[in-house]
Structure 1
Amino acid sequence: MTVIDAAVYVGGARQDDASTVVEAAARVTQKGFAWVGLLRPSDEELAEVAGAFGVHSLAVEDAMKGHQRSKLERYGDNLAVVVRAARYIESTETVDFGEIHLFVGHKAIVAVRLAEEPDLAEVRSRLEGDPKLLALGPNAVLYAILDEVVDSYGPVMVGLENDIDEIEDQIFDQHAGIAVSRRIYELHREVIAFQRAVQPLVGMLAEVRSLAAEDETDIELRRLFRDVHDHVIRTSDRIDNFRSLLDNALNTHMSLVAQRETEASYAQNEQTKKISAWAAILFAPSLVGTIYGMNFRYMPELSWRYGYPLALGGMVVLGSVLFVIFRRAKWI
C-alpha cells in the first residue's frame, strides 16, 4: 500500500488515523478535514482516491501519467495542483526533480508524490506543531507544501551559481577547450529544466492568492501565500539572470577560442614565411652550383680563370639580394 500517512484533523489537532484512503474519507466530520499522503500510487489506488474524495478524472489522469509541468487547474470547488520540487546533485552538477500532485477540496487534501524527494513528513510534523495554522484547513496544508517546494529551490540556486562562477574562471584559461563548452551547454540545459519547473509557479501562486481572496481566506494565510509568491518571483528572476550569464559565457568562450585559433594560425603562418624565405635564399646558390655540377663537356666558364670566383660571387649576391628582399617584407 502506498499510503504514507493519513489522518483527520479537527481544530488544528490530529484526531483520527487512517490506514486507507476510503477510511480517511469516511472519518471526515463537518468540522475537520482529511490529509492523505501517497507515494507512487498505482492507477487503481488513484481511482480509489477519485472515488473517495471526488477528484476530477482529468486530474487523476495527469497523476497517472506523471511528467507534468507545474500548473493549477480548478474543477468546481476543488483544485488540482502540480508542483515540482528540486534538489541539486553536486557530483553530477545536475538538478533532480520530484513531482507532486495535490488534490485540494474543502474537506480534504491528498498529496501524491511520484518521487522519494521531498519528504513531506517534515511538513506534516511542522504543521502539527502549529495548530493555529493547521486549523485553517486544506489551504494551510497547500501553503505549507508550496513553501517546502519553493524552499527546496534555494540550495539549487546556490549550486548553479557556484558552477557558473567556476565556468567564468575556466573560460579565460589558456588551456580551456571543448570540455568547457560542453560544461556550459549541459549547465544551460539544467537551468532551462529548472526554469520550466519554477516559472509556472509565478502565475499559479498569483491565481492561488486570487482564489484565497475570493474565498475570504484568513488574512494571515493570504499573507503567507504572498510571501511564497514573492519568493518564487525572486527565484524566477535569478534563473533568468543565470541563463543570460551562461549565454554570455558561451559567446565569450567561443570568441576566445576563435581568437586563440587565429593567433595560432598567425604564428604558424609566420613560421611558414620564415621557412619559405630561407628555402628561397638557399635555393639561389644551390641553383648555380647545380648547373656547374652537370659536368657538361662544353661549358665556357670551366676553362675561364675567373669562372670559379664569378660563380661564388653570383651565389653570394643572389642570396644577399633575396635576404634583403625578405627582410624588408618582414618574412625573416
Structure 2
Amino acid sequence: MDVRLITTAGIEQRTVEELPTLLARDDVLVWVDIPSCDAQAAQVLSEVFGLHPLALRDCVERNRVPKVHAYPNHVLVVLHAPEKGQRGHVHYIELNQIIGRNYLVTVHGPINPAVDPAAALRETNAVLERMHAGRLRPATPFELSYAIVSALARNQEAYVETATSDVWRLEQRVTGGDVGDPEQFLTELFQARHGLLAVRTMSALSGAIYGRMTTLLTNMPPEGQRLAADLAEQFDRVRSVADSEREYLQGVIEFYQTIVTVRAALVGQAQNEEVQRLTEASYAQNEEIKKISGWAAILFAPTLVAAVYGMNFEYMPELHWRGAYPAALVLMVMSSLGLYWTFKRRGWL
C-alpha cells in the first residue's frame, strides 16, 4: 500500500499510520494506491476511510462489469482496461477508485495469474511518473481521478489501434490470396473480432458510468462534472472507433466467406462435371457391350445349328434327306435374321 501526499510543492511518500492525520487536513490531497486488497488493506479501508461494506466487498472481490455507487462520504467507481492474453483472449484488468472529500484510493482488483502484475499498475504508474516529472499537479481528487481514467481510456484506444493493425494484415492476406490454413485463418479473424468487441464493451459501459455520474452526483462540483463529461466523451470515442473497426473486420470476414463459398461452388461444379463425364463414358460402354452381346448371339445361332449337324451320329435321319443341307442353311439364316430384328427393335444394334 502506497500513501502519497500531494501538495502544491510536490508529492511526498507517507506511511499508513499517518493516514488519520492526513485525512483530517483540508490543504492537501491524499492518494492511496493499493496493488492488491489483502486483509490489511481491507482493514485500513474499513477503519480509516470508513468504507461502506458493499464498497469494501467490491474492492476485495472481482467485478465483471464496470459500476458506480455513491455513498454518503465517498463514491466507488469500478472500471476495466484490456490486456491481450494467449490465443486471442482479452484479460479484464480491474481498477477501483474511491473518491472522497480530499482523498483518492485506487485499488487494483484481482487479476488472472497469467497476467503480468505490472499491467494492473500501468495507468497509476503513468500518472505517478507525470507527477514526479512536474507535468501534472492535481489539486482535487476529481482531477487526479481524471488523469488516471484518461490514461485508462488511452490504453483502451491503443488496444483498438493494435487490433486495427491486425485487421489490416488479415485483409491483405484475404485480398492477396495468402490465407494459409483456412481453419487457422478463421481463428485469427474471430480472435481479432473478439478483441474489438471486448474493448467496445468496456468503453461503452465506462462511458455510460461517467455519463451517469454527471447526473447522479448532485453534490459534485462543476469542475468535477466537467471532467466526468469529458471522460464520458473519451470513452464514447473509443467505443465509436472500436465499432468502426469491428464493422470493417466484419466486411473482411464476409468477403472471405464469399471467397470460400465461391471456391466450394466451383469445386462442386467440377466434381459434377467429372461425374457427368464418367456417367456418359459408362453409358457409352454399356451401349458397346449391348452391341457386342447382340452380334455374339446372332453369330451363335448358326454356330449352334452347324454344331448339331456336325456331330455325325449314326442315327440322324436328316443325313439322308435330300433337302437337309438347304434346310440347315435356311435355319441358320432365319435364326440370325430373327435375332437381328429383335435386337434392332430393342435398340441394341
Kindly provide the CA deviation profile for residues 14-42 of structure 1, in whole angstroms up to 9, marking residues without a partner as x.
35x3333x432333323223211111221
Structure 1: distance between partners of 2:127 and 2:56: 23
Note if 1:188 corresponds to 2:193: yes
Specify the alignment match of 2:27 in structure 1: 31
Give aligned pairs, total. 305
Q: What is the CA–CA distance in structure 1 between the aligned matches of 2:158 and 2:88, rounded to whole Å?
A: 12
- 8 Å CA contact 2:70–2:217 kept in 1: the answer is no
The 10-residue stretch of structure 1 (120-129 or 271-280) with the greater mean CA deviation from structure 2: 120-129
> Which of 83, 94, 97 lines up with 1:99 in the alignment?
94
TM-score normalised over the length of structure 2? 0.74
**AA aligned opposite 1:198:** S
Is contact 1:25-1:34 (8 Å) kept? no
Deviation for aligned residue 1:225: 4.7
Matched, 1:6 2:3: yes
Contact 1:170–1:180 (CA<8 Å) still a contact in 2? no
- Cα deviation, residue 230, structure 1: 2.6
Query: Which protein is bigger by CA-based radius of gyration?
Result: 2
Structure 1: stretches of 5+ with no match in the other structure: 322-332
Cα contact 2:73–2:100 (8 A) shared by 1:
yes
CA distance in 2, matches of 1:79, 1:151: 23
Equivalent of residue 118 in structure 2, options 116, 119, 122:
116
Normalising by structure 1, what TM-score? Answer: 0.77
> Structure 1 pair 211/175, CA: closer, same or farther in 2 (3 Å)?
closer
Instruction: Select which of 65, 70, 74 maps to 1:78.
Output: 74
- The one-letter amino acid of 2:267's match is A
Q: What displacement does 1:92 show?
A: 4.6
Displacement of 1:303 after TM fit?
Answer: 6.3
2:304 match: 298
Give the RMSD, CA atoms, in angstroms.
Answer: 3.6
Contact 2:10 2:137 in 1 (8 A): no
Q: Structure 1 residues 206 and 130 mapped into 2: Cα distance closer, same or farther (>3 Å)?
A: farther
Corresponding position of 1:325: none
Q: How does 1:204-219 map to 2 (within 5 A)?
A: 204-209=209-214, 214-218=219-223
Structure 2 counterpart of 1:324: none
- Answer with 77-86 or 42-51: which moved more: 42-51
Alignment of 1:141-156 (within 5 A): 141-156=144-159
Equivalent-residue separation in structure 1 for 2:331 and 2:58 (angstroms): 102
Is 1:256 the counterpart of 2:259 in the alignment? Answer: yes
* Cα distance in 2, alignment partners of residues 56 and 204 from structure 1: 20
Please state how far the C-alpha of 1:57 moved relative to its aligned partner: 1.2
TM-superposition CA deviations, 1:82-121 (whole Å, max 9, x none)? 11122446x8544443211111101211111135324322
Displacement of 1:156 = 0.7
Letter in 2 for 1:232: F
One-letter amino acid of the structure 2 residue matched with residue 215 of structure 1: M
Aligned equivalents of 1:251 and 1:214: distance in 2? 50
In 2, Cα distance between equivalents of 1:301 and 1:164: 89
In the alignment, what sits opposite 2:59? 63
C-alpha change, 1:242 and 1:131, in structure 2 (3 Å) is closer
1:125 matches 2:121: no
Distance 1:301 1:282 in 2: 34
Take 1:32 and 1:302, find their aligned partners in 2: how far apart are those partners? 132
User: 1-side partners of 2:72 and 2:330: how far apart?
Assistant: 115
Q: Deviations over 1:252-274 (max 9, x none)?
A: 43333222212211111111111
**Letter of the structure 1 residue corresponding to residue 234 of structure 2:** H
Q: Report SS of the residue matched to 1:116.
A: helix
* Mean CA deviation greater in 252-261 or 274-283: 252-261
Counterpart AA for 1:18:
R
Is the 1:86–1:149 contact (alpha carbons within 8 Å) kept by the matching residues of 2? no
Q: Structure 1's 303 and 62: CA in aligned 2 closer, same or farther, altered over 3 A?
A: same
After superposition, what is the alpha-carbon deviation per residue over 1:100-154, rounded to whole angstroms, capped at 9, x for unaligned? 11111012111111353243223123135448742x2211210111011011123
Please tell me the residue identity of whatever aligns with 1:298.
L
Identity value in percent: 15
